[in-house]
Amino acid sequence: MQNLPTYDEVVAAAGRLDGHAHRTPVLRSRTADERWGASFFFKCENFQRMGAFKFRGAFNALSKFDPAQRRAGAIAFSSGNHAQAIALAARELGMPAVIVMPTDAPAAKLAATRGYGAEVVLYDRFTEDREALARRLSEERGMTLIPPYDHPDVIAGQGTAVKELIEDTGPLDALFVCLGGGGLTSGSALSARALSPGCRIYGVEPEAGNDGQQSLRAGRIVHIETPRTIADGAQTQHLGNYTFPLIQRDVDDILTVSDAQLVEGMRFFAERMKMVVEPTGCLGFAAACAAGASIAGQRVGVVISGGNVDLQRFASLLSAS
């Protein structure tokens, strides 16, 4: 098996991110503590640069490039937060970036990615294979392809958020992390195992896309169709060759929540904590709320993974329920 990243690599990533990524705040909520009978610590990556934790992994991966890689730049395929993270990290490090996006990606996302200075290459979702296109571009231009989660430097970068959380709060009894392809969860688990060994660690997926839960139960990576869920950052079809073994080793369980529970989380964050959190960013909190008696009296860490949601969509999700 390939070499899995370790906590030492999370520490090295934190050094590279220093002065580039925000040390995001850890917020408390008396209302949440009283309602659920626990002490909550919210790590607010919705306040990270470009609005999500993904900047951490992208910046760490790109800052490890050698001079030839820096000259040629980075390439990514994504229509979500990873695209913007690679674009911003590349600009910050003064290297070119190409992002492969579908022709029907939301105009706001195309504009945001171009706004960070990246070149956008469009492909037709119905007739073209984006991975093949990205691979061809990377060969033609010598650019380095950075995947959204299954890469040791990406995982180590994502792990810095929970490193900061536990440094700020002290040991935790339980930690709830949003789970898509598992970069954030496996990196978080490296930090939690090192800094708070007794902490129970949970990855949280949308009910409709529980490939991670199935994989943990089956003991192998289970592939699913693209799930239908409002958690667009967790519509991944499978865990990765790095993230799965780390999750298998270090994560206690994978839980699921419904879209309705995610909307309740969005409402709570907006109403009580005055924060805009995207649906995927509510996965961890929604599962913690559903955990009931098992977290009573405990110190509970919750990673809020991002805040990038179109305001019109935000309003319609909240008014529909």
Q: Where are the alpha helices (DSSP H) in 18-148?
A: 30-36, 54-63, 67-72, 81-92, 107-115, 130-141
Would residue 79 show up in a list of annotated catalytic residues for this protein? yes
Catalytic residue among 9, 92, 153, 211: 211
Q: Which stretch binds ligand PLP (CB under 6 A): 7-15, 173-181, 244-252, 259-267?
A: 173-181
| Secondary structure element (H or E) that encloses residue 243, with its range | helix 243-250
Between 298 and 307, name the residue whose CB sits nearer to ligand PLP: 307
**Tally of CB atoms within 10 A around 188:** 35
Of the listed 51, 180, 187, 209, which one is catalytic? 209
Beta bridge partners of 174: 200, 300
Instruction: Pick between residue 75 and residue 246 the one whose CB is nearest to ligand PLP.
Output: 246
| Locus of tokens 């008014």 | 319
97-102/74-77 β-pairing: parallel
What secondary structure letter does DSSP report for 5?
Answer: P
Verify binding: residue 284, ligand PLP, rule CB under 6 A: no
Of 215, 284, 210, 206, nearest to 245 by C-alpha is 215
List 97, 99, 156, 234, residue binding ligand PLP (CB under 6 A): 234
Strands 200-206 and 174-178: parallel
- Tell me if residue 209 is catalytic: yes
Match 């994502």 to its residue by tokens: 158
Residue 274 among the catalytic residues: no
* 81 near ligand PLP (CB under 6 A): yes
* Cβ distance to ligand PLP smaller for residue 289 or 298: 289
Binding mask 10-39 for ligand PLP (x = CB under 6 A): ------------------------------
- For position 180 contacting ligand PLP by CB under 6 A, the verdict is yes
What residues act catalytically? 54, 79, 205, 209, 211, 305
Q: Catalog residues that contact ligand PLP under the rule CB under 6 A.
A: 52, 54, 80-81, 148-149, 178-185, 233-234, 236, 278, 280-281, 305-306
